[in-house]
Amino acid sequence: MGRLRRKWCWAAYLIVAAGAICQGGCLLVAAGAAGGAYAGYAYYQGRICQSYVANFEDAWAATHTALGEPTLPWASWACRLSARSAKQVVV
């Protein structure tokens, strides 16, 4: 009976601890720290970027082709952005 009671006590402690972590927002902080640590480790291992061998003209043409595709929604309205001053004058 003693072992069963200890197991139930541990289960209760874990449930209370999990509830406290979730309520306090610490779970989000811990998840963010774990994600950041993984990203840092992946960067350290060199799995983040990849180099492509191309000359300048090919890279320039590929960039213009990618920006001109209609699948990029920001490319269609990027040319229509404007700013207003404090007096609501378009600059």
Question: Using one digit for the tens of pLDDT, what is the confidence trace for 49-90?
Answer: 677 788 999 988 888 887 776 665 555 555 555 677 777 777
Tokens of 69: 């595709």
CA distance 21 to 31: 12
- Domain holding 39, by residue range, is 2-80
Asked if residue 11 is part of any domain, the answer here is yes
Count of domains observed in the chain? 1
The residue with tokens 């920006």 is 67
Whether residue 85 is contained in a domain is answered as no
In total, the chain counts a number of residues equal to 91
Domain-embedded: residue 39: yes
d(C-alpha 63, C-alpha 4), whole Å: 65
**Is residue 89 one of the residues assigned to a domain?**
no
User: Full-prediction pTM beyond 0.85?
Assistant: no
